[in-house]
Structure 1
């Protein structure tokens, strides 16, 4: 018996799919970056339409200069955790700036968005008397946070407040703490949660709400505070988590709250206490990006303009999309084999998107996941629409021959 036997089914599946695929969708290497929306891949210039660079700030002049200066002034890394020597004044300042931007009193910065959820959930809810209730489609880091916590975890149906209400109603008086975890916009399909309804249900039962706005921060709401702002309940969310690796164009994560007890997590959250803190350059880049987001609504406006154009074009081409207009536009394919073929067709036509197949997708669905950027030019979008037009023609021909 080998430790590696468990990987054999996955390896066989991948091998069978790759045998008929010119490229490996999961091993794409960007040989040269040409900007926020272009890269050279195997000698071909590709439009990047699967990067989560929603506001296109990875090449923002202010963010780049801030990162360079931070390296010169503070070095390349902290060599310590936030709990030890890894908290610089810049880390604290970013926490204050994020809290102010979001309208919360307290904020903690983690090394990644993954660790923000892992660290917050595992510290907030613990065995044996706490219970965590999570949306079935929550991200892996939320599931892992539940597992690390040791608390009983109960799933409710995706985006279904009534399902949450029923599960909360069944909990007995022995349960001390109840934590409800959900996301603002879900990363695979791009569908948006009815956050206001969820908050009302959770608070009715005395439960706290942790909302992950990783993919919706900077994108939704009048000020870019996320889906909770768009639905008018930002101040009712107990714990707001997010990442720097999407709209903030860096690496890191955070949790914000109006509960003063959030500060206790600095002494009880293992992912906060036992991993190296974000580098000075990452903190500086995120800080500069936050300032730009706070003062410039044009990026968000351009993002939504681009999203509407792409969604409308895909609808006209006959593709089945997974959600209404939004920054993530996922197209459903018939099966894994068709999805691999379709991904390669798009690459041949100069467009990179994310290929997602079961078991990593909800409802065992195979999709091509496109993420729109504010930095996408009209020329970029022309190439995207042209590539999907070619794909539509191929799929139509296959359907006729079947």
Structure 2
């Protein structure tokens, strides 16, 4: 009798059909709905109606200062860069309609790769259609099954995805921890292929890697080294070659990955190397072989921009002035920052939580300032932060205006 009652009390089995493949995103959907229900404008769907310069755009009908575009050297509106793109459109058309190994290599692609070789003083350069594909392609091709990739836990998503695609053993270590990296390397079986992947500047916090010490450890342990200089190319180092140049280890690095969507001011990615066998990558790297090549206008703008960056010392100096002033000013106002001192053109302002971070983002936008709202899982340690990326074209007056906007918005939202 009791058994019958127990069975009757059980809920009926309901067949809801196949599992919804979108159910894995339910937590993110709820987070977004909760955020929008609070009345905050969607911070991930901003539309720029018109871009006026590297530092200004019309957003929601308002003239807005741009402080979240990664346009570090302000090359997007350089007259020579724009003219090069227009000329390429006229002479070569809108696109290549093919991959680099078929019909997709035009004169402009070779000129762009030559500009990279000249910029870095290296023997080889490969241009990819995006920076994401550069990491995806190089890492997955050189580190495969049976090899080991030792990487910083805060590495960019493209680095993690390159590791997964290559099916190598992934060995992460604590962020910027030299001892932890060495311990991981020493546990790898003797004779196995080893690749250490580092970043010059980490894009969320804007902090710099101790490349000098890390590269030395990697080489001592017999590993090859790849450094992603996406957020340092153009303005860090004497010639703008990145953190590896600044710390004196560029000749010890096997591969440098970079992107055109930051300091270069357009779109695309690349890898430069002095490895004598590097050219075989053009035949074995799947994200290079099976992707349509960049349009002629894009590689023309990239090549022109890269060559101009070779003579960008004045711009680099001004960008550093902007970084020091913004970092120091925000610290004086009482904001919590991602680094104790300015280390790059990125200044991360840490928020108490996502709700107040979104409120601060919207308050700044209402003031006429655009920054990036970054949230977990993209951020380290489950932090919510406002990520500011300075430009060499920001004037001193604009930086002072930005500090005033942060002060007013911070007080209005209760952050300071």
1:130 to 134, 147, 155: 147
**Partner in structure 1 of residue 274 of structure 2:** 258
**Partner in structure 1 of residue 132 of structure 2:** 114
State the shift of 1:293 in Å: 0.7
Q: What pairs with 1:327-342 in structure 2 (closer than 5 Å)? A: 327-342=345-360
TM-score using structure 1 length:
0.97
Question: In terms of Rg, which structure is larger?
Answer: 2
Deviation digits for residues 72-124 of structure 1 (CA, Å, limit 9, x no counterpart) = 00111110011111111221122122112112111111111110110000110
Check the 8 A contact 1:350/1:383 in 2, yes or no. no
Three-state SS of the structure 1 residue aligned to 2:112 is helix
Counting matched residue pairs gives: 396
**Partner in structure 2 of residue 36 of structure 1:** 54
Is there any run of 5+ residues in structure 1 with no aligned partner, and where?
Answer: none
RMSD: 1.1
TM-score using structure 2 length:
0.93
Deviation digits for residues 164-195 of structure 1 (CA, Å, limit 9, x no counterpart) = 100011111252x1001010001111000001
Residues 154 and 20 (structure 1), Cα distance of their counterparts in 2 relative to 1, 3 Å cut: same
Q: What pairs with 1:2-401 in structure 2 (closer than 5 Å)? A: 2-127=20-145, 129-173=146-190, 175=192, 177-323=193-339, 324-325=341-342, 326-396=344-414
Check the 8 A contact 2:333/2:407 in 1, yes or no. yes
State the shift of 1:161 in Å: 1.2
Work out the CA distance in 2 between the residues paired with 1:327 and 1:171: 36
Work out the CA distance in 2 between the residues paired with 1:4 and 1:299: 46
Check the 8 A contact 1:54/1:247 in 2, yes or no. yes
Q: Which moved more, 1:348-357 or 1:378-387?
A: 378-387
Three-state SS of the structure 2 residue aligned to 1:31 is strand
Return structure 1 stretches of 4+ with deviation > 4 angstroms: none
Check the 8 A contact 1:317/1:392 in 2, yes or no. no
Is there any run of 5+ residues in structure 2 with no aligned partner, and where?
Answer: 1-18
